[in-house]
Amino acid sequence: MPPTTGPPGGYFGRALVVDVTDGDAATLPLPEHVLRGYLGGAGLGTWLLHRLGPPGVDPLAPRAPLAFVFSPLVGTPLTTSAKFAVVAKSPLTGLLTDALASSQFAIAGKLTGHDAIVVSGRAATPSVLLIDGDGARLRAAPDLVGLTAADADKRLRAQLGRGWRVAAIGPAGERGVRYATISHDGRHAGRGGLGAVMGAKNLKAIAVRAATKVAPADPAAVLAAARDLRDRSFGPATAKYRELGTLANLLAFNAISALPTRNFQAATFEAAGRLAADDADHADHADHADHADHAGRAGRDGGGDPADAAPANLAEVSGAPKPSPQMRRVARSGCASCTIGCEHIYRVGGGKKARVEYENVFALGPMCGVAEPDAVLAASARCDDLGLDTISAGGTIAWAMECAERGLIDAPWLRFGDPGALLRALDEICAMSTPLGELLAQGSRAASRTVGGDSGRFAPHVKGLEMPGYEPRTLHAMALGLAVNARGADHNRSGAYEADLSGDLDRTDGGAAHVSAAIETEDRAALMDSMILCKFLRGVFTDPYAEWAALLAAVTGWDVTGAELKATARRIVLAKRVYNLREGWRPEDDWLPARLLDEPLTLASGREARLTPERLRAMIDGYYKERGLDPVGRPVTLIDGDLRLA
Listed residue (236, 242, 250) closest to 309, CA to CA: 250
User: Quick one: pLDDT band at residue 533, thresholds 50, 70, 90?
Assistant: confident
Rg (C-alpha) for the chain, rounded Å, is 23
Higher pLDDT, 535 or 162: 162
Q: Which helix (H) or strand (E) holds 240?
A: helix 239-243
Per-residue pLDDT at 278 exceeds 90: no
Output the pLDDT for position 296.
39
Output the pLDDT for position 304.
43
Per-residue pLDDT at 80 exceeds 70: no
> What is the mean predicted confidence (pLDDT) over 506-514?
95
Would you tell me how many other CB atoms lie within 10 Å of the CB of residue 176? 18
Output the pLDDT for position 234.
61
pLDDT tens profile 288-317: 222 222 233 444 454 444 434 433 333 333
Domains of the chain: residue spans and CATH: 14-209 (3.60.9.10), 234-461 (1.10.569.10), 476-626 (1.10.599.10)
Per-residue pLDDT at 35 exceeds 60: yes
Q: Where are the alpha helices (DSSP H) in 124-218?
A: 149-160, 171-175, 194-200
Per-residue pLDDT at 494 exceeds 90: no
Per-residue pLDDT at 208 exceeds 80: yes
pLDDT tens profile 365-394: 999 999 999 899 899 989 999 999 999 999
Per-residue pLDDT at 5 exceeds 80: no
**Percent with pLDDT over 90 in the chain:** 70
Per-residue pLDDT at 347 exceeds 80: no
Higher pLDDT, 504 or 354: 504
Per-residue pLDDT at 645 exceeds 80: yes
Output the pLDDT for position 301.
52
Q: What is the mean pLDDT of the chain?
A: 87
Count the helices and strands in the chain (H runs, E runs): 23, 20
Distance CA 84, CA 81 (A): 9
> What is the mean predicted confidence (pLDDT) over 519-527?
94
Per-residue pLDDT at 196 exceeds 70: yes
Q: Count Cα atoms within 13 angstroms, Cβ side, for 597.
A: 15
Output the pLDDT for position 339.
52
Q: What SS3 state is found at 400?
A: helix
Output the pLDDT for position 336.
56
Output the pLDDT for position 289.
26
| Core vs surface per residue 420-447: b (16+ CB within 10 A) or e | ebbbbbbebbbbbeeebbbbbbbbbbbb
Yes or no: say if 131 and 112 are a contact pair by the CB < 8 Å rule: yes
**Percent with pLDDT over 70 in the chain:** 83
Distance CA 47, CA 38 (A): 7
Q: Where are the alpha helices (DSSP H) in 497-642?
A: 497-500, 512-531, 544-556, 562-582, 594-598, 613-626
Distance CA 177, CA 377 (A): 21
> What is the mean predicted confidence (pLDDT) over 319-327?
46
608: left (phi over 0), alpha (psi -120 to 50) or beta: beta
- DSSP annotation of 539 reads G
Distance CA 238, CA 294 (A): 19
- The sign of the dihedral angle between the CA atoms of 467, 468, 474, 478 is negative
Per-residue pLDDT at 337 exceeds 70: no
pLDDT tens profile 449-474: 999 999 999 999 999 999 999 999 99
Burial class of residue 388 in the structure, from the number of CB atoms within 10 Å of its CB (0-12 exposed, 13-18 middle, 19+ buried): buried
pLDDT tens profile 550-562: 999 999 999 999 9
pLDDT tens profile 114-171: 999 999 999 999 999 999 999 999 999 999 999 999 999 999 999 999 999 999 999 9
Output the pLDDT for position 352.
55
Output the pLDDT for position 607.
87
